[in-house]
Amino acid sequence: MSVLVASDLDRTLIYSNRALALDVPDRLAPRLLCVEVHDGRALSFMTEQAAALLVELTREACFVPSTTRTLAQYERINLPGPTPGWIPPYAICGNGGQLLVDGVPDRDWRAEITARLADASAPLAEIVEHLALCADPEWTHKRRVADESFAYLVVERAQLPDGWLDGLTGWCAERGWTVSLQGRKVYAVPAPLSKSAALAEVVRRTGASTVLAAGDSLLDADLLLAADAAWRPGHGELADGGWTAPGVTALDEVGVAAGEEIVRRVLARVRGEVAAVPA
């Protein structure tokens, strides 16, 4: 397929109960499809219409889920596809730390990214230690290390002290790390660990001539910039900061409605790109 579509998942295509943002009377709410179950609980959803559009998209383009989730967290998601049990041919997990090929982690990519991190960023242990010292237990629920690649905190966002996030961002930047606040999670990620780096590898392997992308957070910005055209919802870290760039469409829709609109617009662009290819 000549067109490759790389999309973030959480708060871009799929939504938790907290993130649905259904600003309509209950009787008018869209029908939802559950796409993630964990310990018997339904966790993430998309509208049924978005799911139907995604099935069409997977038939017409190489669809690449691109997430900060760990491999284990990603494997809980059951996206709709053209056949029962469909698995995307490529998927990016761990913010680019893992590249899955037909659902299996690619060892060559993992070795490559591990070498890049060793050359360009402070050790993970140094960052983890600093987070343990600067994150007050009063507003920090969890501290986690993801796939031995990056760290994150689960916090009470409203209780974060003024200037704390900026201070952490500056401290991490001096050590070759980036910081992103997404919902209740504060991520500290080494700069070389990016979705765009993994995307470039997928483009190299597939030979795609057109790349489309979607995402809502600071960790998605490089993914959007690497695409020929991209979309971001009206919510999220990028929207909160008014971020935009050439080729990036900022949507007005928020919540699960934004997820549906993203798939609709991406599918229309894919069909336009395919129609533009000479017979």
Last residue of a domain, one of 136, 163, 190: 190
Q: How far apart are CA 245 and CA 252, in angstroms?
A: 16
Provide the pairing of β-strand 104-105 with 98-101: antiparallel
Last residue of a domain, one of 163, 190, 217: 190
Is 55 part of any domain?
A: yes
User: If we measure between CA atoms, which residue out of 264, 105, 116 comes closest to residue 196?
Assistant: 116
pLDDT level of residue 120 (50, 70, 90 thresholds)? confident
List, for residues 26-48, the tens digit of each pLDDT value: 999 999 999 999 999 999 999 99
Is 262 part of any domain?
A: yes
Amino acid letter, residue 218: L
pLDDT level of residue 273 (50, 70, 90 thresholds)? confident
Question: How many separate domains does the chain show?
Answer: 2
Last residue of a domain, one of 190, 214, 236: 190
Please report, for the domain that includes residue 249, its CATH number.
3.40.50.1000
Is 276 part of any domain?
A: no
- Rounded mean pLDDT, 120-141: 94
Residues in the chain: 279
Residues 70 and 110 in one domain: yes
Computed over every residue of the chain, the mean pLDDT equals: 94
Provide the pairing of β-strand 150-155 with 104-105: unpaired
Residues 184 and 202 in one domain: no
**Percentage with pLDDT > 90 across the chain:** 88
Please report, for the domain that includes residue 165, its CATH number.
3.90.1070
Helix 256-276 × helix 48-60 angle, to 10°: 20
- Greater pLDDT, 148 or 89: 89
Is 277 part of any domain?
A: no
pLDDT level of residue 278 (50, 70, 90 thresholds)? low
Residues 104 and 226 in one domain: yes
Which residue segment(s) compose the domain that 61 sits in?
3-114+193-271
Residues 144 and 260 in one domain: no
* pLDDT at res. 101: 98
Q: Which pair of structure tokens corresponds to residue 153?
A: 């905190």
Residue 182 has pLDDT above 90, yes or no: no
Strand partners, 105: 100
| DSSP string for the chain | --EEEEE--BTTTBEETTT----S-GGGPPPEEEEEEETTEEEEEEEHHHHHHHHHHHHHSEEEEB-SS-HHHHTTB----SSTT---SEEEEGGGTEEEETTEE-HHHHHHHHHHHHHHS--HHHHHHHHHHHS-TTTEEEEEEETTTEEEEEE-GGGPPTTHHHHHHHHHHTTTEEEEEETTEEEEEETT--HHHHHHHHHHHHT-SEEEEE--SGGGHHHHHTSSEEEE-SSHHHHHTT---TTEEE-S--THHHHHHHHHHHHHHHHHHHHHS--
Query: Contact, 4 vs 206, CB < 8 A?
Result: yes
Is 67 part of any domain?
A: yes
Q: How far apart are CA 44 and CA 194, in angstroms?
A: 24
* pLDDT at res. 276: 66
pLDDT level of residue 149 (50, 70, 90 thresholds)? confident
- Rounded mean pLDDT, 230-259: 96
Residues 200 and 254 in one domain: yes
Q: How far apart are CA 148 and CA 123, in angstroms?
A: 11
User: If we measure between CA atoms, which residue out of 112, 123, 261, 104 comes closest to residue 201?
Assistant: 112
CB under 8 Å to 250, separation ≥6 — which residues? 232, 234, 239, 244
Residue 10 has pLDDT above 80, yes or no: yes
User: What is the phi-psi region of residue 268: left when phi exceeds 0, alpha when psi lies from -120 to 50, beta otherwise?
Assistant: alpha
pTM for the structure as a whole: 0.89
